[in-house]
Amino acid sequence: MLIERIETNIENMEKEEIIRRHIEKVYLDSDHLVKRIQRVTTDHGREIGIRLKDPRDLVAGDVLYMDEKNMIVIDVIADDLIVINPRSIKEMGTIAHQLGNRHLPAQFEDDVMMVQYDYLVEELLKELEIPYKRENRKVKQAFRHIGHSHE
């Protein structure tokens, strides 16, 4: 089976539409969400080729295939993350500045900042006394580096 476009995302579907279908999942590492061309295997052992025509990243919940009885949906394997929970705008600004200088991609969810685990970041957070936790957590999107140069 070759997938060239995303049907929809499961978050955009009505609950009734979802529960009437059998769901197969494709589990991806978050860094594979940026790959437009790849070969994957569902949790039922079905091999699928993905070659997206649109220049877009995959997102957790994307529906690769759907008919009246079945769906194949992207799910993401949990990443080893540092979940930063600053107590003030000053702490948020301080850590954002420090991580920005290191060009580390971050994601935000509710009132927390998430970065992929790095022992140097963990040491920095301890030094700055900014609260954090190390967690295995699923993200919806890939951590993407933003191109930038210091000219």
pLDDT in tens, the chain (151 residues): 999 999 999 999 999 999 999 999 999 999 899 888 999 999 999 999 999 998 888 999 999 999 999 999 999 999 999 999 999 999 999 998 998 888 888 888 888 899 999 999 999 999 999 999 999 998 888 886 554 444 5
In angstroms, the CA 100 to CA 96 distance is 6
Question: What is the CATH number for 63?
Answer: 2.60.260.20
For the beta carbon of residue 128, count every other beta carbon within 10 angstroms. 13
Question: What is the CATH number for 105?
Answer: 3.30.70.790
With contact defined as beta carbons under 8 Å apart, do 9 and 23 qualify? no
Q: Are residue 83 and residue 67 in the same domain, yes or no?
A: no
Q: Are residue 52 and residue 92 in the same domain, yes or no?
A: no
Residue 142 within any structural domain of the chain: no
Residue 130 within any structural domain of the chain: yes
Question: Which pLDDT does position 107 carry in this prediction?
Answer: 87
Residue 22 CB partners (closer than 8 Å, separation 6+): 69, 70, 71
Question: Which pLDDT does position 148 carry in this prediction?
Answer: 42
Number of domains comprising the chain? 2
Amino acid present at 130: I
Question: Which pLDDT does position 145 carry in this prediction?
Answer: 56
In angstroms, the CA 10 to CA 148 distance is 34
Q: Are residue 60 and residue 94 in the same domain, yes or no?
A: no
Question: Which pLDDT does position 149 carry in this prediction?
Answer: 44
Residue 108 within any structural domain of the chain: yes
Q: Are residue 6 and residue 53 in the same domain, yes or no?
A: yes
Note down the domain range covering 18. Answer: 2-76
Q: Are residue 33 and residue 72 in the same domain, yes or no?
A: yes
Q: Are residue 97 and residue 122 in the same domain, yes or no?
A: yes
Question: Which pLDDT does position 80 carry in this prediction?
Answer: 95
Question: Which pLDDT does position 151 carry in this prediction?
Answer: 52
